[in-house]
Amino acid sequence: MLEIFSYDFMINALIAGTLASIAFGVVGSYIVVKKISYISGGISHTAYGGIGLGYFLGFSPLLGAVGFSILAAIIIAYLRTKRNNNEDTIIGIMWSLGMALGILFISLTEGYAPNLNGYLFGNILVVPTEELYLMFVLDLVIVLSVYCFYDKFLAITFDEEFARVKGIKVDLYYLILLILIAFTTVVLIKLVGIILVIALLTIPGAISLQFVKSLRSMMILSTIIGFLFNLLGLIISYYLNISSGATIIIIAVISYIISLILKNYYFNKIVLQNKEASFD
């Protein structure tokens, strides 16, 4: 079965999957514990506008995605400091505006209209080597930032108000966190596409959350789980010749359901046994 990895594009796909797992394992953990998947959805969908702009003006669509998603992160972080009640609405508007701009730019692009399915739904089998470099750099930024700001991120995600009282620049660190989400989104676009990004940002984290006792171990477990999803998705989609993005997501959702069942039945049983044992 290992002969599928004798192709260069398969090696690239495997590297892309590994790089992505690190990004969403680490950043996804914050998204799950802070419950900001809607915000993350807003950031990732706005990125589509940047992809369109990249095609329209003739520069790398992924760089366009980086620009647009960072812009979305800045707007959302700014809205939060204003504490007005329409944050939710504005994120929703940005979400669709980004998609609309993307479609508009692409229809304005002269000549051959590119097939954008790859950006919407992902295709891990066609990751060019230069995009791997971009993913690697973004990964490095994510891991280094979390390494440097771990305590601060922990404080602001666990109890924002207390962090403020301790003199931590909450708004600044929140902005950094949202920008890391923007980077992660870009890393994930090639893998599962804009529309499916949310699933990979949340499901590995949601599964690990049930079994861990610290944010650090949650990040590590999420990364491992995400890597396995990618590997399995890659192999299955290759042999069955189906969409890699969709396959990865479906594997993730099924795994999440299994983890819930395991948690509810298996772990409750252990607790019950322990309780009975203590009565003996």
Partner 1 sequence: MISAISVKNIDVTLSGFKILNNINIEISQNEFLGIIGPNGGGKTTLLKVILGLLKPDCGEVFIMGKPIKDSLNLLGYVPQYNSFEKDFPISVFDVVKIGTIGKSFKNKNEVVNKVLKQVEMYEYKNRLINELSGGQKQRVLIARALVSSPKILLLDEPTASVDTKNGRTFYELLKELNKNITIVLVSHDIGVLSQYVTKIACLNKNLVYHDSKEISHEMLEETYHCPVDLIAHGVPHRVLGEYINE
Give contact residues for partner 1 (rule: CB under 8 A): 33-35, 151-152, 154-155, 157-159, 161-168, 209, 212-215, 217-218
Name the phi and psi angles at 37, rounded to 5.
Answer: -70, -30
Q: Shortest Cβ distance from residue 276 to partner 1 (Å)?
A: 20
Q: Which residues fall within 8 angstroms of residue 131, CB to CB, at 6 or more apart?
A: 16, 62, 190
Which tokens sit at 65?
A: 């995605």
- Give the nearer residue to partner 1 in terms of CB position, either 61 or 205: 205
Q: Shortest Cβ distance from residue 29 to partner 1 (Å)?
A: 9
Q: Shortest Cβ distance from residue 31 to partner 1 (Å)?
A: 12
What Rg, from alpha-carbon coordinates, does the chain have? 20
- Give the nearer residue to partner 1 in terms of CB position, either 36 or 252: 36
Q: Which residues of 30-62 are buried (b: 16+ CB within 10 A; e: fewer)?
A: bbbebebbebbbbbbbbbbbbbbbbbbeeeebb
- Give the nearer residue to partner 1 in terms of CB position, either 164 or 235: 164
- Give the nearer residue to partner 1 in terms of CB position, either 64 or 205: 205
- Give the nearer residue to partner 1 in terms of CB position, either 58 or 167: 167
Q: Of 257, 231, 222, whose CA–CA distance to 15 is shortest?
A: 231
- Give the nearer residue to partner 1 in terms of CB position, either 9 or 78: 78
In DSSP notation, 3-46 reads: GGGGSHHHHHHHHHHHHHHHHHHHHHHHHHHHT-HHHHHHHHHH
Which tokens sit at 58?
A: 């003739």
Q: Shortest Cβ distance from residue 86 to partner 1 (Å)?
A: 13
Q: Shortest Cβ distance from residue 154 to partner 1 (Å)?
A: 7
Q: Shortest Cβ distance from residue 187 to partner 1 (Å)?
A: 24
